[in-house]
Amino acid sequence: MVGNDIVDLSKAAVESDWKRKGYLEKVFTVEEQEYILGANDADQMVWRLWSMKEGAYKAHLRSTRKKKFAPKDLRCKIENATSGLVTIEDCIYYAQSQTTPHYIHTFIGCDVSSKPKFYVHEQKKIGTEFEKFSIHNNLCKAIAQELNIKKDKVKIIKDDLNIPSLEIEGVKQKLGVSFSHHGSFSAWCYLTLA
């Protein structure tokens, strides 16, 4: 199972007031609140934890097909500057986060040894068909190169829960893919095929 999430830090700073009364208690566990309040950069820690929760939710939805996002049910543990764990129900997901001055991107896998391929793209407009096509096109191109096949043999399809998956030469693959976008950034990831 795979999931990912990206947070545009500029957009989050303008649109999300996590310091408002009751927000931390509503979204984060006591342990997560301690991470935030003890962090050198509380804003980055809030959005790192949020991206871990969102990415794990996507992986968990793919696994269980239960559509229920309850942020406090996704419990994060920070291991170091880039690694962490997210637990929901009896499942543990492994998180790898990349923090830049502009965004935080988190990849989620079910195995600590998961080796993702991912791509982050800064886009001019969000939500346009052109951008959506571009993101999907880049993912199909990367997978085709890895498999040494023509790009037109690789397709992105979505199921009834809007979960993306791959179709290669007309056959649905078990390989998971995940898309995310926020503000000026979009990202995709998949587990390596080798």
Q: pLDDT of 49-77, one tens digit each?
A: 999 999 999 999 998 999 999 999 999 99
Which stretches does DSSP call E strand in 48-170? 75-78, 83-88, 91-99, 103-109, 116-122, 154-158, 164-168
Q: Are 185 and 130 in contact (CB under 8 A)?
A: no
Note down the domain range covering 62: 2-114
Task: Tell me the pTM.
Answer: 0.89
Q: pLDDT of 132-185, one tens digit each?
A: 557 778 888 888 888 899 999 999 899 999 899 889 999 988 878 898 989 888
State residue 90 phi and psi, 5-degree precision. -100, 15
Are 108 and 137 in a shared domain? Answer: no
Q: Are 125 and 74 in contact (CB under 8 A)?
A: no
Q: Could you tell me the two tokens for 159?
A: 């199921």
pLDDT at res. 152: 94
Are 46 and 12 in a shared domain? Answer: yes
pLDDT at res. 59: 93
Domain boundary among 92, 114, 136: 114
Residue 108 scores a pLDDT above 80: yes
DSSP state of 28: S
Percentage of the chain modeled with pLDDT above 90: 62
Are 79 and 21 in a shared domain? Answer: yes
Are 63 and 135 in a shared domain? Answer: no
pLDDT at res. 193: 54
Q: pLDDT of 17-35, one tens digit each?
A: 999 999 999 999 999 999 9
Mean pLDDT of 86-91: 95
pLDDT at res. 188: 86
Q: How many domains does the chain have?
A: 2
CATH of the domain at 50: 3.90.470.20
Domain boundary among 94, 114, 134: 114
